[in-house]
Amino acid sequence: MSILQLAWRNIIKNPLNLLMSIILFGLGVGLISFLLLFNSQLKEKFDKNLAEIDLVVGAKGSPLQMILCSMYHIDNPTGNIPIKKAAPLLKDLHPLIKKAIPLSLGDNFKSFRIVGTNHDLVDLYNGKLNDGALWTKDFEVTIGRSVADDTGLKVGDKFVSSHGFNEDDDMSHDHSSFMVAGILEGTGSVLDQLILTNTATIWLVHEHEEAGVEEEAGQTHEGHDHSDHSHDNSNADLLNHPEQEITSVLIQYKSRTNFQALNFGRNINENSDMQAASPAIEINRLYNMIGVGTDALRSLAILIAIVSALSIFISLFKSMRERKYELALIRVLGAGQVKVFALIILEGLILALIGFVIGTILSHIGMELVAKHLKADFRYSFTGWKWLAEEWIVFGVALVLGFVAALIPAIQAAKTDINKTLSEK
């Protein structure tokens, strides 16, 4: 019968007394660890998807919405921009721009977005082919890892898209049949949940729709013969269609510190009917908005943790007083002051440990539930089954709280005058 066993038996002797402390402690730990899990994964997603994009140019509207739409693919576009307006950005020889990647949105397959773009987007997120090839012709697509996993699409498979960003059978473009040319490796970025094709394909799908004619893809349309003409993926090709529209352009500067680059976005905003926004700034704005909420939650969690430590202190103190004869007896039976001190400290630590385990389980289950929800809504993969290094810190803090809560009762117990206690009748 070790001191540890004795401490454990004392704890389970009267579980109801301790339920309150443990639940409170678990709640505090759970909330803190949930916030850690959520924030870290959110930040990771956002940061990974920043992908060194310096500027996003699109239709006027909410800059945050444009960023969320063009880079994170979780909001609707602010509108489209005509290529002739965006042409200066897309020209190869722009002095400031290293890369300009056009994006065209408008369709989805099983709520995975179909994005008309060029191969630079794949490079941007360090995407690598897992199977097949990158798209080359109209209506050929290369799909991200999550798309392949969730839809079961394989190279060579055909599918029909739906209009908009949510799956809706009534909005299917029955006529536009896409063909999977390749599947990318998982990157952990937004690339995983995209269906990539060339920009022209998006136009074709929507031309058919606007014309209200059900045509097979590849048929002659407005004198533009698609069957023997494939759009290549270059920006130069886009410039041949100044009347067409794209959703936005992702821009990487040649040099971020260039003075002109710093003013580049402002120039667009002031002198054109397009808008430019810096992802870093907008995402920081978003963090700050979310931050108010998470700060409040964190304060609440810390408050709960402190109250629970106080409640552990009170229950240990009370139980120590009730057990003062027991403790004196343990001394008589040969336990030194150190052992009695250790006994009460162990009880505090065990309570904290149970609370930590309960809280951790709660937070991970909670995170997994939220992850399911987020996945259904935004196609973003979060997970509850991930252990963060910070959780070890929470573990350490929990044990320290348990120790501190037990300290005064333990000192009192160790200092108990056994002669006096046992002389009381």
Where does this chain bind another protein (CB under 8 A)? 1-2, 6, 9-10, 12-13, 323, 325-326, 328-339, 418-419, 422-423, 425
Minimum CB distance to another protein smaller for 340 or for 374: 340
Q: How many CA atoms lie within 13 A of 101 on its CB side?
A: 26
> Smallest distance from the beta carbon of 316 to another protein, in angstroms?
14
Q: Where are the alpha helices (DSSP H) in 212-255?
A: 235-239
> Smallest distance from the beta carbon of 424 to another protein, in angstroms?
9
Minimum CB distance to another protein smaller for 100 or for 406: 406
> Smallest distance from the beta carbon of 392 to another protein, in angstroms?
32
Minimum CB distance to another protein smaller for 177 or for 337: 337
Minimum CB distance to another protein smaller for 2 or for 257: 2
Query: Strand 112-116 vs strand 194-197: parallel, antiparallel, or unpaired?
Result: parallel
Measured distance CA(354)–CA(352) in Å, rounded: 6
Minimum CB distance to another protein smaller for 27 or for 414: 414
Residue appearing with tokens 């576009």: 77
> Smallest distance from the beta carbon of 367 to another protein, in angstroms?
37
> Residue 201: which H helix or E strand, with range?
helix 199-211
Return the C-alpha torsion angle 313, 318, 324, 326, nearest 10. -90
Buried b (16+ CB within 10 A) or exposed e, 247-260: bbbbbbbeeeeeee
> Smallest distance from the beta carbon of 311 to another protein, in angstroms?
20
Minimum CB distance to another protein smaller for 399 or for 418: 418
Minimum CB distance to another protein smaller for 9 or for 128: 9
Angle at 243 between CA 267 and CA 198, to 5 degrees: 90
> Smallest distance from the beta carbon of 422 to another protein, in angstroms?
7
Contacts of 424 (CB under 8 A, 6+ apart): none
> Smallest distance from the beta carbon of 308 to another protein, in angstroms?
23
Extended beta strands in 75-222, E state: 81-82, 97-109, 112-116, 129-132, 140-143, 158-163, 172-184, 194-197
Minimum CB distance to another protein smaller for 9 or for 224: 9
> Smallest distance from the beta carbon of 405 to another protein, in angstroms?
20
Helices 337-378 + 3-13 axis angle, to 10: 60
